[in-house]
């Protein structure tokens, strides 16, 4: 199994959290200069950790003169497999939409330049995210992180070649929309994620999340689709390997 999206910089005993996954892979995403450097450190230290580097829309005011050089100077790193977490977030700040869009597009162009996957954050901005990806994301391997849209919107992103990140929210009782998406969309279009330390799935909701809890996301998908958890792991792992071009670096 592969946790395609998490953040591990705030764990006191990160080694225990990582080792709990055994030989299963973890993709850690950066959001700003500090976390991007931490991602690189974790990739260098742990065999089963891979990374993506990016500037999150909420971190836009923390951009420094070094922000883009940190990202671009590490694009040849064998274990840096994508640009992310990038995208749009209108939930907290609706005043800087244009600035967010410019940052998003700039990072999509970096991904194109180095042929990297992109992990896309979209909160209260799904239509703008779609339009930008439609125009600027051609040819990119796109992962819509923590997908929370409708079946119709899921299909629109899939038409762009995107995969949908499914995480702990799926296990929540009131998550009817994403449960419908999982029911109606083919399994091959999903990748598993935890977004650790956030969005902890049931039965541990309210506690700090960790990559191993991806098991409970897979279990819920299997329950909704009436298939085995082994099939969920096999299919989503295959999709993640293809999406993040992991085939030659999994050993």
List per-block mean pLDDT (blocks of 10 residues) for the chain, which spans 251 residues.
96 94 97 98 97 97 96 98 98 90 98 98 98 97 98 98 98 97 99 98 96 98 99 98 86 51
The order of strands in the sheet holding 25-29 is: 2-6, 25-29, 49-53, 80-89, 117-123, 142-144, 163-166, 190-192
Assign residue 189 the CATH number of its domain.
3.20.20.140
pLDDT in the model for residue 171: 98
13 burial via Cβ count (<10 Å: 0-12, 13-18, 19+)? exposed
pLDDT in the model for residue 250: 65
Distance CA 170, CA 148 (A): 9
54 burial via Cβ count (<10 Å: 0-12, 13-18, 19+)? buried
pLDDT in the model for residue 94: 82
**DSSP classification of residue 209:** P
Distance CA 167, CA 101 (A): 25
pLDDT in the model for residue 93: 79
Bridge partners, residue 88, by sequence? 122
Q: Which domain holds residue 33?
A: 2-249
Q: Which tokens go with 250?
A: 């999994």
Phi-psi group of 66: left, alpha or beta (phi > 0 → left; psi -120 to 50 → alpha; rest → beta): alpha
Count of structural domains within the chain: 1
């Amino acid at each position: 199994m592969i946790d395609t999206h998490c953040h591990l910089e705030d764990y006191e005993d990160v080694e225990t959290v990582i080792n709990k996954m055994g030989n299963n892979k973890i993709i850690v995403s950066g959001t700003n200069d500090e976390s991007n450097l931490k991602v690189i450190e974790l990739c260098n230290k742990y065999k089963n950790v891979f990374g993506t580097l990016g500037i999150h829309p909420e971190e836009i005011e923390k951009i420094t003169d070094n922000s883009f050089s940190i990202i671009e100077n590490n694009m040849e790193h064998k274990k840096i497999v994508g640009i992310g977490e990038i995208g749009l977030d209108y939930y907290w700040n609706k005043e800087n939409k244009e600035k967010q869009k410019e940052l998003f597009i700039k990072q999509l162009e970096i991904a194109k330049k180095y042929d990297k996957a992109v992990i896309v954050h979209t909160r209260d901005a799904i239509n703008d995210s779609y339009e930008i990806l439609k125009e600027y994301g051609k040819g990119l391997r796109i992962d819509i992180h923590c997908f929370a849209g409708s079946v119709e919107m899921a299909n629109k992103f899939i038409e762009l070649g995107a995969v949908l990140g499914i995480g702990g929210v799926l296990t929540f009782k009131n998550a009817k929309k994403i449960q419908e998406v999982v029911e109606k969309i083919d399994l091959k279009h999903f990748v598993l994620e935890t977004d650790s330390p956030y969005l902890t799935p049931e039965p541990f909701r309210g506690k700090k999340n960790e990559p191993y809890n991806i098991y409970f996301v897979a279990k819920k998908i299997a329950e909704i689709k009436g298939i085995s958890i082994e099939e969920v792991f096999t299919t989503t792992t295959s999709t993640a390997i293809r999406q993040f071009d992991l085939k030659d670096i999994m050993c």
